[in-house]
Amino acid sequence: RTALVIATSRVRGDSARLGGAMASKESAGVVAASGKVREWPELVVSGCADQTISHIVKGVYRVDGMNHTKPVYKKYEKAKGLDVLVYFWDDRDGLELCGWWFGPQVGGDQVWAFHPSRTSTTPPANEWNIPNDGAIDPTFSITPRAPANRPKDGDKDDESVKKQIEAIKKERGDFAKRMEEIQKRADERKRREEELRSRMAEDKSGTKRPREADADDEEQRKRKELAVASARAEEERRRLAEEARKRRGEEERRVAQEAEKQRREEERRLAEEHARQRREQEDEERRRRLERRKKEEEDLQRRREAEAAQRRVEEDQRRREEAERMKERQRRLNEEARRRKEHICQLGMLEAMSRLAHAEPEDYDAYVRMLDRALEIMLPYTGKQKEALKAEADRILRRTAAYIKVAEGLASNWESWHELEQSLPPAVRT
C-alpha cells in the first residue's frame, strides 16, 4: 500500500511538471513559429538618370532566394536576355565590395549599381551609385509594392502554427485523461487493499467461515490482478515520466538554442552596428582631416601667392626706385659734366682771350688763330656765358688789333729814327 501511494504521488507530480512543460512548449512554439513567419514584400525600382541602366533595372522584383543571410530579389522580366538581380555581398572579399548590388547573377563580375549599406535587411530605398563606380543618383528609388489580394505564405504558416497548438492541446487533454484513469485505478486498488486487510484481520481472529474459502481464492486472484495492474501502472508512469523528461529536455535545448541563436544574432548585429559606426566615425574623421589638410594647403598656397605677389611688388618698386636713383645720378653726373665742360670751356676762352690781350706783334697772329680755334670749339659749350664771352673776345680782338697796329707804327718809327741816328755824325748823336 505504501509503495502504491508513493507511485500515485509521483505520477501526479510528473503530470503537473509535464503539463507545465507542455504549456512552455506550446508558447515557445508560437514564438518560434512567429519568428519564422517573414513576408518579403515585392519591390518597385523606378527613376534613373542613366537611360541605358534605367531600361535594365526598372521594374518589379520578388524574393528569389537568400545570399549571405539576406534576401535576393529577382526582376519578373528579363532585360536583354539577362536576369536582373538585387543581392547582398558581405565583407569576405573586402569592405569595399560589401553592400547591395544590381547584376545578372549573384557575385558576378557584371554589375550596374551599388549601395555600401551593410546593416539594411532589404535593398536601401535611395542613394545608390549608378553606375556602380559613379556618383549617387538622386532620382533612383526602391519602394515596396502594395500587397495584392491573394493568399499569403504567412497565412499558411499561421494555419500550421494553429494546427500545431491544437495538436499540443489535444495531447495534453489525452494525457490528463490517462492520468485520471490511473488515479481511479489507484483508488480502486486502495479500496480493495482495505477490504483485503479487514478480511485478513478477521482470519487471524478465527472468525473466518468455511463458506468463505472460495471467496478467499477469488480475493487472492484479484490481488494478483491488482499487483499486475499496479506494475503496469508503474510502468506506464515511468514511460510517461520519461517522455515528459525527454520532451522537457528537448524543449529546454530548443529554447536554449533559440536563445543562443538570438544572442549570437544580436551580438552580430551589435558588432556590425559598432563596426559600421566606427567605420563612419573613421570615414568622418578621415574626411575632416582631408578637408582640414586641404584647407591648410589652400591657406598656405594663398599665403605663398600673396607673399610672392608682395615680393614682386616690392621688387618692382625697388627696381623703379633704383632706376630713378640711377637716372637721377646720371642726370647729376651729366649736369656735373656739363658744368665742368662749361667751366673748362669758359677757362679756355678766358685763357685764349688773356693771351691775345697780352700778345706782341711777333705772336699776334698765333694768338688770333688760338682765339678763332677757341671760338669754334669751346664757345658753343660755355652755356650762359657764351654771349658775354663772344662780346669780350670781339672787344679784346679789336683792342689788341689796334694795339698791334700802334705798336707796329711805333716800331716802324723807331727803326726809322734809329737809322737816321746812325746816319748822323757821332758829335751830333750825342
Task: Please list, in sequence order, all residues whose beta carbon lies within 8 angstroms of the beta carbon of residue 254, skipping any fewer than 6 positions away.
Answer: 28, 32
Whole-number Cα distances in Å, 73 to 42, 106, 217, 315, 342: 8, 10, 81, 71, 108
**H helix and E strand count, the chain:** 7, 9
State the chain's mean pLDDT as an integer.
Answer: 79
How much of the chain, in percent, has pLDDT values that exceed 90?
Answer: 25
Neighbouring CB atoms inside 10 A of 88's CB total: 24
* 105 in Cβ contact with 49 (< 8 Å): no
Separation between Cα atoms, residue 272 and residue 418, nearest integer Å? 149
User: Model confidence over 95-144: pLDDT tens digits?
Assistant: 888 999 999 999 888 999 999 988 888 999 999 999 888 888 889 999 98
Residue in 301, 421, 345 with CA at minimum distance from that of residue 353: 345
Nearest to 241 by CA among 25, 7, 3: 7
**pLDDT tens digits, residue range 34-59?**
444 467 889 999 988 888 898 999 99
For the chain, how big is the Rg over CA atoms in Å?
A: 69
SS3 at position 305: helix
Residue with cell 478467499: 216
165 touches 30 (CB < 8 A): yes
Q: Assign 104 to helix, strand or coil.
A: coil
Q: What is the largest CA-CA distance in the chain?
A: 252
Task: Say if CB 240 and CB 178 are below 8 A apart.
Answer: yes
Are β-strands 70-75 and 128-129 bridged in parallel, bridged antiparallel, or unpaired? unpaired
Which 3 state secondary structure label does DSSP give 109?
coil
Distance separating alpha carbons of residues 338 and 381, to the nearest angstrom: 8
Residue 24 has pLDDT above 70, yes or no: no
Phi, psi of 426 (to 5 degrees): -55, -35
- Burial class of residue 106, CB neighbours in 10 A (0-12, 13-18, 19+): middle
pLDDT in tens, 368-401: 898 899 889 988 888 888 899 889 889 988 988 8
Alpha carbon distance 116, 91 (integer Å): 11
Choice among 71-75, 79-83, 175-179, 271-275 with the minimum mean pLDDT: 175-179
**Which residue shows C-alpha cell 607673399?**
307
- The C-alpha cell of 121 is what? 535587411
Q: What is the pLDDT of residues 141-156, one digit of tens each?
A: 999 887 654 444 445 5
Shortest CA distance to 72 belongs to which of 37, 45, 97, 107? 107
Per-range mean pLDDT, top range of 168-182, 235-249, 334-348? 334-348
Model pTM score: 0.31
Provide CB contacts within 8 A for 190, sequence distance 6+: 1, 4, 5
**pLDDT tier at 428, thresholds 50, 70, 90:** low
